[in-house]
Amino acid sequence: MPDWLSIPRLVDIILIGMTFEALWLQRRHTQRGGSGAPGIILHLVSGALLLISMRLALTDYSPLLVAAVLGCAGCCHFVEVRRALMTQH
Predicted confidence (pLDDT) per residue in 4-44, tens digit: 788 889 999 999 999 999 999 999 999 999 888 888 899 99
Predicted confidence (pLDDT) per residue in 54-80, tens digit: 999 999 899 999 999 999 999 999 999
The residue range of the domain holding 58 is 7-88
Residue 1 lies in a domain: no
Nearby residues of 14 by Cβ (< 8 Å), 6 or more positions away: 51
Residue 2 lies in a domain: no
Name the domain count of the chain: 1
Residue 16 lies in a domain: yes
> Using CA atoms, how far apart are residues 58 and 33, in angstroms rounded to an integer?
41
pTM of the model: 0.86
Q: Tell me the three state secondary structure of residue 70.
A: helix
